[in-house]
Amino acid sequence: MGDIWDLLPGLGDKLAAHVVLSASAIGLAMLIALPMAVWAGRSRIVSRLALSLASLVQTIPALALLALFFPLLLSLRSVFGEGLPTLGFLPALMALTLYALLPILRNAVTAQANLDEGVLEAADGVGMTKWQKLVLVEAPLSAPFIMAGIRTASVWTIGAATLATTIGQPSLGDPIFAGLQTQNWALVLAGCLASAGLALAADNLLWVIEVGLARRKRWMTYGGMAVVVLGILAALWGQGQDPEDRPIVIAAKQFSEQYILAQLIGAQLEAAGYRVEYRDGLGSAVVHSAVASSSIDISVDYTGTIWTNYLKRADNPGREAMYETIREWEQRENGVKVLGRLGFENAYAFAMRADRAQALGVTSLADLVGKAPQLTVGGDPEFFERPEWLAVRDAYGLRFGKTRNFAPTFMYNALASGEADVISAYTSDGRIAADRLVVLEDPKGALPSYDALLMLSPRIAADEGVLTALQPLIGAISVEAMREANFAVDREDAGKLTPTAAAEELARKSGL
Amino acid sequence: MHDTPPLLRFDGVTCRFGDVTAVGPGEGGVSCDIAYGSFVALVGASGSGKSTLLKTVNTLVEPTGGRVLFGGEDVTQLKPARLRRRVGYVFQGIGLFPHFSVAENIAIGPRLAGEKLPPERIAELLALVELDPGYATRMPDELSGGQRQRVGVARALAGGPELLIMDEPFGALDPVTRDALGRKVRELHETLGLTTVMVTHDMAEALLLADRVLVMDKGALVADESPRALLAGEGGPVAQRLASVPREQAERLAAMETPAEGGA
């Protein structure tokens, strides 16, 4: 795993972004939690309420908390206007701040409650005002305990900040998510090492401050604080390198195909002299609105996804009509330019083992009708609830003998071992080619199309240079080429490629 | 009895906490005058209301009824910070600030008033409570219990108070330290011309240190006598029950000292 050490130096900008995000969240949490703790120390109700709320927040998984801020901020746009960012730094900051509140608040409240009664009485006895008592007695005596809370919060926050990747905020989660999707373990480990190292460094620095406060060693307290401040300033400086003309930002959702296509698009633009930046591992909903708001410039989306999720349509007018409707809708509603179709579909389909299909004499869904009662169909856990399945079932009158749910990775194993005869699959999935599966035809057109679309944000929609650079991609990528590239990234053996290498291979095969 | 007005006057004071009346349960509350220069002990069992009554003087407790007059002025009308500078407060918990040195602890009252105590004054205050000037730079956790309470007394005296109020000041100390510190405070009371009110549950301490003993029972003032009168059997049943303990102890100790004579 020597390549981890080669990867680490390249994570500098992610590290800087990670530090700035974490430090801002902890700083903001302190600004909220400390006055709240003072208030809680004077009112039992406030204490109860604040601590219960902070605990409640803790029970929400960090990933969900981050994602929840997206719709929240979106709805707040009606108050603050369209300029309110819904992705990236702001929602990440808000979620992480909420997350950091509990340890700081709890320690501060506990520290205050455990202050020596005698000392507090003496403070009153010598004539301190409430403010003097807080500043001269309560705060310095609580400081080591509060610092311990801030330490806990810092370690949590630095860990949770890796999840900010999913809402479009660069962080050390970028290499982790990208590595997980493309099974590039060196990249995952590099991201984990960097974030763990940062957490450890922060923990130790804050420990020095805590000990300095507890033992009243000023050089430790101030020395620790100085290093923390310097670290944050360095990160700010490292991040502040962002010039006015920002690079073109390319999004990738959380699966291999998206990473490969992002690299392919990026290479195409770089060849034309553009600077590009990647936002990897984003949630699907996040990508769509990020392109509309120009926080991301280019994405690859699919007609079927947009059709059901954003146009909220359940009908199937056919492939061409669907494409034209979406193209026009995106332009009108979001100012997003649908440059065109890449040429392949990543649709839901039904796949069978070639030998089994041949034995049963099945080549299309229509052939299955009579044989279905003797067969088992497998699908991913949500498939049998989706409109696509209902459409196929009703269009052909399919009645399978057995219906089984499998995790996507195991569906192919189930098919190989004969536990399922037919499975739901994605048409561009690399394993279709690798396992030499037969994709059943859909003569009635019951399954909606999932044409891969090249989407451009309003910011670059009219940029002639960009359009010219990307035009060759339109219609250039066949489903076979995409499957091969996907498989090259997904496979576990020696033939495994990184998304970048797979993209180069794909470009070569597609004549780009 | 007094020509000058009293330094401290309790005028119909009552203190209620919810349904519980800690001080002044009957009609009219608690009333009494404390003259300049007197050393008054406030004695009673636990829960008799003596600490509560004492704390109305520096407004750590605000009375629900009646008034406390300090030099003729209602204490609740005075600025707490200024009032508490004129009233030195020593209590059982001591309450030295653990993050301040001895010198900083002693100087805190004047510091709050914007005055910086010079090192000579700190040394002088330490000398008053019989501590070496070298203690000025120590931290409270380096001191013994007795030394801490000496610093506590020095802190109470730092602002040059007119009145010293003490709430079980020696309660947590060992008997030898307790006796020494008690005598020291009485001596300071004389030399500095203080007026002192001391709350204690120990009648012996009260009888030996004070020149006037007030006895409280269930929130009411039930006796107001000189030590001599109390020992002579004055002050009513509650006061006598308290006074009988040290008197009998003294008699038993005296009996031990008299050699047993055959056939006596």
Chain A residues closer than 8 Å to B155 by CB: 126
Average pLDDT over residues A202-229: 90
Q: Residues of B near A (CB-CB distance < 8 A)?
A: 58, 60, 80-85, 89, 91-99, 108-109, 112-113, 139, 152, 155
Distance from CA of A210 to the nearest CA of B (A): 14
The C-alpha of A139 sits at a distance from chain B's nearest C-alpha, in angstroms, of: 11
**A221 to chain B, closest Cα gap in Å:** 14
Task: Assess whether pLDDT exceeds 50 at residue B263.
Answer: no
Return the exposure string of A281-316: e unless at least 16 CB atoms fall within 10 Å of the residue's CB, then b: bbbebbbbbbbbbbbbbbbbbbbbbbbeebeebeeb
- Burial label for B46, CB within 10 Å (0-12, 13-18, 19+), is exposed
Residues from chain B contacting residue A136 (CB–CB below 8 Å): 97, 108
Return the amino acid letter for A240: G
Structure tokens at B30: 């608690």
Q: What's the number of CA atoms in the CB half-sphere (13 Å) around residue A451? A: 23
Question: Pick from A241, A119, A321, A372: which is nearest to B140 by CA?
Answer: A119
Question: How confident is the model over B10-39, as a mean pLDDT?
Answer: 88
Q: How far is B89 from chain A (nearest CA, A)?
A: 6
Chain B residues in contact with A128 by the CB 8 A cut-off are: 81, 112
Q: Are A437 and A353 in contact (CB under 8 A)?
A: yes
Contact A116 B60 (CB under 8 A): no
Cβ A117–B112 below 8 Å, yes or no?
no
- pTM (two decimals): 0.68
Q: What is the largest CA-CA distance in chain B?
A: 73
**Which chain B residue shows the shortest CA-CA distance from A137?**
B97
Q: Which of A127, A128, A216 comes nearest B99 by C-beta?
A: A216
* Alpha carbon distances (Å) from A295 to A249, A458, B9: 8, 10, 75
pLDDT at B216: 93
DSSP letters, chain B, are --SSPPSEEEEEEEEEETTEEEE--STT-EEEEE-TT-EEEEEE-TTSSHHHHHHTTTTSS--SEEEEEETTEEGGGS-HHHHHHHEEEEETT----TTS-HHHHHHHHHHHTT-PPPHHHHHHHHHHTT--GGGGG--GGGS-HHHHHHHHHHHHHTT--SEEEEESTTTTS-HHHHHHHHHHHHHHHHHTT-EEEEEES-HHHHHHH-SEEEEEETTEEEEEE-HHHHHTT-SHHHHHHHHHHHHHHHHHHHHHHSPP-TT-
> Do the beta carbons of residue B49 and residue B15 sit within 8 Å?
yes
Give the chain B residue whose CA is nearest to the CA of A214.
B99
CA angle at residue A28 from A27 to A29, to 5 degrees? Answer: 90
Q: Give every CB contact of residue B251 below 8 A, 6+ residues apart in sequence.
A: none
Alpha-carbon Rg for chain A, nearest whole angstrom, is 28
Q: Which of B83, B89, B151, B157 to mutate to test the interface with A (most CBs of A within 10 A)?
A: B89
Edge-first strand order for the sheet with B220-225 is B87-91, B163-167, B195-200, B39-44, B212-217, B220-225
3-state secondary structure of A403: strand
Question: Is A116's CB within 8 Å of B95's CB?
Answer: yes
Q: B264 falls in which pLDDT band (50, 70, 90)? A: very low
| B168-187 core/surface letters (b: 16 or more CB in 10 A; e: else) | bbbbbbeeebbeebbeebbe
Does B137 have pLDDT greater than 80? yes
3-state secondary structure of A467: helix
Token pair in block for residue A82: 């369209």
- CA of A217: which chain B residue's CA is closest? B99
Say whether residue A121 is in contact with chain B using an 8 A CB cutoff.
yes
Among candidate residues A257, A333, A284, A84, the one with its CA nearest the CA of residue A168: A284
Is A125's pLDDT higher than 50?
yes
Say if A217 is an interface residue toward chain B (CB within 8 Å).
Answer: no
Q: How many whole angstroms separate alpha carbon B223 and alpha carbon B237?
A: 9
Q: Which of A119, A129, A132 lies at the smallest CB-CB distance from B95? A: A119
**C-alpha to C-alpha distance for A168 and A174, rounded to whole angstroms:** 9
The owner of tokens 């860990």 is: A159
Q: Is A218 on the interface with B (CB under 8 A)?
A: no
> Which chain A positions have a beta carbon within 8 Å of B60's beta carbon?
121, 124-125
What is the reported pLDDT for A315? Answer: 82
| A60-65, long-range: CB < 8 A, 24+ apart | A62/A95, A62/A99, A62/A160, A62/A163, A63/A163, A63/A166, A65/A95, A65/A98, A65/A99
Task: Collapse the DSSP code of A404 into the 3-class scheme (helix H, G, I; strand E, B; otherwise coil) and give the result.
Answer: strand
Contact assessment for residue A155 and residue A104, using Cβ atoms and an 8 Å cutoff: no
For B101-129, the pLDDT digits (tens) are 999 999 998 898 888 999 999 999 999 89
- From B204's Cα to the closest Cα of chain A, the distance in A is 26
Chain A residues whose CB is inside 8 A of the B70 CB are none
Q: Under a CB-based contact definition with an 8 Å cutoff, are residues A461 and A260 in contact?
A: no
Q: How far is A118 from chain B (nearest CA, A)?
A: 4
Task: Give the pLDDT of residue A94.
Answer: 92
Question: Quick one: pLDDT at residue A53?
Answer: 87
Residues of B in contact with A117 (CB under 8 A): 93
Q: What is the mean pLDDT of residues A163-174?
A: 87
pLDDT band at B37 (very low <50, low <70, confident <90, very high): very high
SS3 content of chain A, % helix, strand, coil (to 5): 65, 10, 25
Q: Which residues of A touch B93 (CB under 8 A)?
A: 116-119, 121-122
Quote the pLDDT of residue B3: 57
Q: Which of A118, A127, A132 sits opposite B94 (nearest CB)?
A: A118
Q: What's the whole-number average pLDDT of chain B?
A: 89
Contact A127 B81 (CB under 8 A): yes
Which of B84, B92, B139 has its CB closest to that of A126? B84
Instruction: Give yes or no for residue B261 having a pLDDT over 70.
Output: no
Of A106, A217, A191, A211, which is closest to residue A152 (Cα–Cα)? A106
CA distance B95 to chain A (A): 4
Closest CA to B65 of B51, B46, B52, B80: B52
Residue-level pLDDT at B163: 94
Q: Give A94-110 pLDDT, tens digit per residue.
A: 999 998 998 999 999 98
Q: How confident is the model at residue A240 (pLDDT cuts 50, 70, 90)?
A: low
| pLDDT confidence of residue A285 | 75
**Is-contact A198 A206, C-beta < 8 A?**
no
Determine the Cα–Cα distance for residues B185 and B34; give it in Å rounded to an integer. 18
DSSP character string of B148-192: HHHHHHHHHHTT--SEEEEESTTTTS-HHHHHHHHHHHHHHHHHT
Helix (H) or strand (E) holding A378: strand A376-379
pLDDT confidence tier of residue A245, bands split at 50, 70 and 90: low
Q: Which of B112, B107, B109 is nearest to B122 (CA)?
A: B107
Q: How far is A153 from chain B (nearest CA, A)?
A: 26
Within 21-80 of A, beta carbons closer than 8 Å to B belong to none
The torsion angles phi and psi of B247, rounded to 5 degrees, stand at -65, -45
Structure tokens at A97: 């701040």
Q: Which residues in B17-43 are b (16+ Cβ under 10 Å) and which e?
A: eeeebbbbbeeebbebbbbbebbbbbb
CB A206: neighbour CB atoms within 10 A? 22
DSSP A280: E
Q: Please give the residue of chain B at the shortest CA–CA distance from A127.
A: B81
- Please report the pLDDT score of residue A280 as a whole number: 81
Q: What is the DSSP letter of A134?
A: I
Residues with Cβ < 8 Å from A43, sequence gap 6 or more?
none
State the complex-level ipTM.
Answer: 0.85
Backbone φ and ψ of A501, nearest 5°: -65, -40
What is the Cα–Cα distance from B60 to B63, expressed in whole angstroms? 10
The answer to whether the CB atoms of B93 and A117 lie below 8 A apart is: yes
In the numeric block, the tokens 């950091």 are attached to A100
The pLDDT tens digits for B57-98 are: 989 898 998 999 998 899 999 888 788 888 999 988 888 999
Non-local CB neighbours of B11 within 8 Å, separated by 6+ positions:
B31, B66, B67, B68, B69
Please tell me the distance from the alpha carbon of residue A62 to that of residue B111, in angstroms, as a whole number.
48
| A-chain residues near B85 (CB < 8 A) | 127
What is the 8-class DSSP label of residue A448?
P
The percentage of chain A sitting over the pLDDT mark of 90, rounded to a whole number, equals 37
A397 touches chain B (CB under 8 A): no
Residue B210 and residue A363: Cα distance in Å, rounded? 112
Q: Inter-chain contact B98–A129, Cβ cutoff 8 Å? A: no
Q: Residue A243 pLDDT more than 70?
A: no
pLDDT in tens, A305-335: 898 888 888 788 888 999 999 999 999 888 8
Q: How far apart are CA A132 and CA A493, in angstroms?
A: 68
- Distance (Å, rounded) from C-alpha A339 to C-alpha B235? 105
Phi and psi at B195, nearest 5°, equal -110, 130
Q: Give the tens place of pLDDT for each residue, A393-442.
A: 888 988 898 888 887 767 888 888 888 999 988 888 888 878 889 989 88
Of A118, A125, A216, the CB nearest to B84: A125
pLDDT, mean of residues A465-494 = 89
**Contact partners, residue A250, CB within 8 Å, separation at least 6:** A262, A265, A266, A269, A276, A277, A278, A279, A296, A297, A298, A299
Q: Residue B109's closest chain A neighbor by CA?
A: A126
Using the Cβ of A135 and the Cβ atoms of chain B, whether some distance falls under 8 Å is answered with: no
Average model confidence (pLDDT) for chain A? Answer: 87
Question: Over pLDDT 70: what percentage of chain A?
Answer: 97
